[in-house]
Chain A
Amino acid sequence: MTQPVSIIMIEDDEGHARLIERNIRRSGVNNEIISFANGTDAMKHLFGPDGSGLVQKGNALLILLDLNLPDMTGIDILKQIKENKYLKASPVVVLTTTDDSQEIKRCYELGCNVYITKPVNYENFANAIRQLGLFFSVIQVPPAAS
Chain B
Amino acid sequence: MIADAQRRRTFWQILLFAAGLLVLTVISAGSVYLVNKARDDSKWVVHTIEAENQINALLLEIRRAESAARGYLLTQAADFQGDHDKAVAAIIPALDKLTRLTGDNPAQRENIEKLSAAIETRLGQFAQEMDFVRRGEPEKAAALVREVASTDATAVIAKVATVMIQEEERLFRLRTVNSDRSQTLAASMTGIGSGLVVLLALISIWLVRRSARARDDAEARLRDANVNLEAVVDERTADLREANNEIQRFAYIVSHDLRSPLVNIMGFTSELEELGGDIFRRIGGLTHVPADGPPPSTGEIALEGPDKQLSADFSEALSFIKSSIAKMDRLISAILNLTREGRRAFQPEKIDTRELIEAIVSTLAHQAAEAQAEIHVAPLPDLVSDRLALEQIFSNLIDNAVKYLKPGVPGEIRIRGRTKLGYAIFEISDNGRGIDPKDHQRIFDLFRRAGTQDKPGQGIGLAHVRALVRRLGGTMSVSSELNTGSTFTITLPITWNASNRNADQ
Contacts and interface: CB of A to CB of B under 8 A. Distances in A.
Most A CB within 10 A of own CB, among B263, B266, B268: B263
Contact of B263 (A100, A120, A123): A120
Contacts of A98: 256
Interface of B: 256-257, 259-264, 266-271, 325-326, 329, 340
Given A68-B256, A100-B340, A118 B270 contact: no
A16 B262 CA distance: 10
Most B CB within 10 A of own CB, among A13, A15, A22, A126: A15
A125 B256 contact: no
Nearest to A17: B264
Contact of A118 (B263, B325, B326): B263
B166 to A, nearest CB: 129
B493 to A, nearest CB: 27
A121 B264 contact: no
Contacts of A120: 259, 262-263, 266, 325, 329
Contacts of A19: 263-264, 267-268, 271
B266 A122 contact: yes
Contact of A16 (B263, B325, B329): B263
How large, as a class, is the contact surface on chain A?
Answer: 10 to 19
A15 B271 CA distance: 12
Given A16-B264, A19-B264, A68-B256, A126 B325 contact: no
A123 B268 contact: no
Given A15-B264, A16-B267, A126-B270, 16 more contacts: A15-B263, A16-B263, A19-B264, A19-B268, A22-B271, A68-B256, A97-B256, A97-B259, A97-B263, A120-B263, A120-B325, A121-B266, A122-B266, A122-B267, A122-B269, A126-B267
A129 to B, nearest CB: 10
Contacts of A22: 271
Contacts of B261: 13, 15
27 contacts: A13-B260, A13-B261, A13-B263, A15-B263, A15-B268, A19-B268, A68-B256, A68-B257, A68-B260, A97-B260, A97-B263, A98-B256, A119-B263, A120-B259, A120-B266, A120-B325, A120-B329, A121-B266, A121-B326, A122-B263, A122-B266, A122-B267, A122-B269, A122-B270, A125-B263, A125-B267, A126-B267
Nearest to B340: A100
A120 B259 CA distance: 7
A98 B256 CA distance: 7
Contact of B270 (A13, A97, A123): A123
A37 to B, nearest CB: 13
A123 B263 CA distance: 11
Contacts of B267: 15-16, 19, 122, 125-126
Interface in A91-146: 97-98, 100, 118-123, 125-126
**Prevailing SS type, chain B contact patch:** helix
Nearest to A12: B260
Contacts of A15: 261, 263-264, 267-268
Nearest to A19: B267
Nearest to A99: B336
Q: Which 10 A-B pairs have the closest CB atoms?
A: A15-B264, A122-B270, A19-B267, A120-B329, A122-B266, A122-B267, A97-B259, A120-B262, A97-B260, A118-B263
A126 B263 CA distance: 11
Given A100-B340, A120-B329, A16 B260 contact: yes
A123 B326 CA distance: 12
Interface string A9-21: 0000101100100
A129 B271 CA distance: 14
Nearest to A14: B264
A85 B484 CA distance: 71
Contacts of A123: 270
Nearest to A122: B270
Interface string A58-101: 00000000001000000000000000000000000000011010
Given A100-B340, A120-B329, A121-B326, A13 B259 contact: no
Most B CB within 10 A of own CB, among A100, A122, A125: A122
Contacts of B340: 100
A22 B267 CA distance: 11
Contacts of B263: 13, 15-16, 19, 97, 118-120, 122, 125
A73 B25 CA distance: 94
Contacts of A125: 263, 266-267
A125 B268 CA distance: 12
B82 to A, nearest CB: 146
A66 to B, nearest CB: 9
Nearest to B258: A97
A119 B263 CA distance: 7
A19 B326 CA distance: 18
Contacts of B268: 15, 19
Contacts of A121: 266, 326, 329
A97 B269 CA distance: 18
